[in-house]
Amino acid sequence: MSAEQPPVLSRSLLPLVAAAWIAGLLCAPARAGAAPALAALAVSVGMLYVGRAARARSWGVALLAAAFAAGWVAGPRPLGAPVPSGLARIEGRVIEVRYGTSPRAYLAVERAARVEDDRRWPDGARVMVWDLDEPPGTRVRLLGAARPRTEFINPTPHPRWRSAHSVHGTVRLRAAPRVLSGPLTPALHRARGALRRRLDATLPPSTAGVARALLLGDADAVPRWDRAAVQGAGLAHLLAVSGLHVAIFAGFVAAAVRRLAVGRVRDPGRAAALGVVPASLGFALLAGGAPSAWRAATMASLGALALALRRRPDPLGLASLAAIAFALVAPEDAASPGFLLSILATAAIVTIRRDPEAPANPLSTAWGVSTRATIATAPLVLWCFGGLPLLGVLANVILVPVAVTLLVPLVFLHALAAGVGLAPWTAPALVTVVDAVVGAADAIAVLGWGMNLPPPSQAQGLALCAGAFGLLAAKRWRHAAVVTAGLLAALVACELHLRHVEQPRGLLRITQLDVSQGDSALVDLPDGSAMLVDAGGGQPDPGEGALLPLLMARRRDHLRLVVLSHPHPDHYQGLRALLDHVRIDEVWDTGQATAETPHGPAARLLRAMRRRGARVRRPHEICGERRVGGVRVTVLWPCPRFDPGLGPNDNSLVIRLRHEARSILFTGDVEALAERALVDSPSDLRADVLKVPHHGSRTSSSAPFLQRVGPVIAVASQGRRNRYGHPHASVVARYAARGVPLLRTDRDGGVVIETNGQWLRWRTAR
Model confidence pLDDT, tens digit, residues 177-197: 999 887 777 888 888 888 989
Q: In this structure, are 384 and 254 located in the same domain? A: yes
Same domain, 233 and 120: no
Summarised one tens digit per residue, pLDDT across range 609-627 is 999 999 999 999 999 999 9
Please tell me the predicted confidence (pLDDT) of residue 728.
94
> Among the listed ranges 72-81, 169-178, 310-319, 493-502, which one has the minimum average pLDDT value?
72-81
Q: In which band, very low, low, confident or very high, does the pLDDT at 221 lie, cut at 50, 70 and 90?
A: confident
Same domain assignment for residues 435 and 469: no
**What CATH number is associated with residue 682?**
3.60.15.10
Of the residues 482, 502, 522, the one at which a domain ends: 502
What is the mean pLDDT of the segment spanning 239-256? 80
Give the CA distances from residue 407 to residues 224, 244, 369, in Å, rounded to whole numbers and listed in that order: 20, 12, 20
Does 46 score more than 80 pLDDT? no
Give the CA distances from residue 214 to residues 140, 243, 415, in Å, rounded to whole numbers and listed in that order: 29, 12, 11
8/446: higher pLDDT: 446
The 10s digit of each residue's pLDDT in 516-539 is 999 999 999 999 999 999 999 988
Largest Cα span, the chain: 103
- In 48-168, which ranges are E strands? 86-99, 103-114, 126-130, 139-148
- 3-state SS, residue 309: coil
Which residues make beta-bridge pairs with 105?
97, 129
The answer to whether position 722 is within a domain reads yes
Any domain includes 79: no
More confident residue, 185 or 564: 564
Q: In this model, does residue 448 exceed pLDDT 80?
A: no
Say whether pLDDT at 580 is over 70. Answer: yes
Most confident among 22-36, 101-115, 289-303, 605-619 (mean pLDDT): 605-619
More confident site: 645 or 348: 645
CB 198 within 8 A of CB 192: no
- Based on the domain organization, do 298 and 428 belong to the same domain? yes
pLDDT at 11 over 60: no
**Structural domain count, the chain:** 5
- Has residue 298 got a pLDDT over 80? yes
Is residue 391 assigned to a domain?
A: yes
Same domain, 66 and 198: no
736 and 594 co-located in one domain? yes
**Given a cut of 70, is residue 59 above it in pLDDT?**
no
Over residues 247-276, the mean pLDDT reads 84
Question: What's the confidence (pLDDT) of residue 311?
Answer: 82
Q: Are residues 627 and 757 in the same domain?
A: yes
Instruction: Tell me if 553 sits within 8 A of 503, measured CB to CB.
Output: no
pLDDT, position 624:
93
**pLDDT value for 8:** 36
81 inside domain: no
Q: How far is CA 138 from CA 70, 83, 97, 143, in A?
A: 30, 22, 11, 16
Q: What is the pLDDT of residue 1?
A: 38
Q: What proportion of the chain, given as a percentage, has pLDDT over 70?
A: 90
pTM recorded for the entire structure? 0.85
Walk across the sheet containing 713-716 and list its strands. Answer: 624-628, 631-637, 654-659, 662-666, 689-691, 713-716, 742-744
pLDDT digits (tens, 9 = 90+) for 500-518: 999 999 999 999 999 999 9
Q: Are residues 425 and 470 in the same domain?
A: no
* pLDDT for residue 648: 95
pLDDT level of residue 6 (50, 70, 90 thresholds): very low
CATH number, domain at 92? 2.40.50
Sheet holding 583-589, edge to edge: 615-617, 583-589, 558-564, 530-535, 520-524, 508-512, 751-755, 760-764
Single-letter residue type at 269 = G
Q: How far is CA 586 from CA 144, 270, 561, 609, in A?
A: 46, 74, 5, 9
Structure confidence at residue 639 (pLDDT)? 93
- More confident position, 203 or 300: 203
Of 138-142, 408-412, 514-518, least confident by mean pLDDT is 408-412
Which of 154, 184, 214 is the last residue before a domain boundary?
184
Q: How confident is the model over 189-214, as a mean pLDDT?
A: 89
* Collapsed DSSP state (helix, strand, coil) of residue 114: strand
Q: Are residues 434 and 481 in the same domain?
A: no
Distance (Å, rounded) from C-alpha 490 to C-alpha 484?
10
49 — pLDDT class (breaks 50, 70, 90) = low
- The answer to the question of residue 9 being in a domain is no
User: Distance between CA atoms of 121 and 483, rounded to whole angstroms?
Assistant: 52
> Same structural domain for residues 220 and 137?
no
Q: Is residue 358 part of a domain?
A: no
| pLDDT for res 56 | 56
Is 426 part of any domain?
yes
Amino acid at 162: R
In this structure, is residue 8 part of a structural domain?
no
Question: What is each CA distance from 487 to 247, 305, 321, 492, in whole angstroms?
Answer: 34, 41, 31, 9
Q: Which of 475, 502, 529 is the last residue of a domain?
A: 502
- The confidence band for 607, taking pLDDT boundaries of 50, 70 and 90, is very high
Same domain, 58 and 173: no
532 neighbors 521 (Cβ within 8 angstroms):
yes
Q: What is d(CA 242, CA 296) in angstroms, rounded to the nearest whole number?
A: 7
* pLDDT at 750 exceeding the cut of 50: yes
Q: How confident is the model at residue 32 (pLDDT cuts 50, 70, 90)?
A: very low
Percent of the chain with pLDDT over 90: 44
| Mean model confidence pLDDT for the chain | 85
pLDDT at 403: 79
More confident residue, 447 or 229: 229
Q: Check pLDDT > 80 for residue 715.
A: yes
Residue 469 has pLDDT above 80, yes or no: yes
Q: Name beta bridge partners: 97.
A: 105
More confident call, 729 vs 15: 729
Q: Are residues 50 and 104 in the same domain?
A: no
Four-residue CA torsion sign, 152, 157, 158, 159: positive
Q: Which domain holds residue 646?
A: 508-764
Whether residue 139 has pLDDT greater than 80: yes
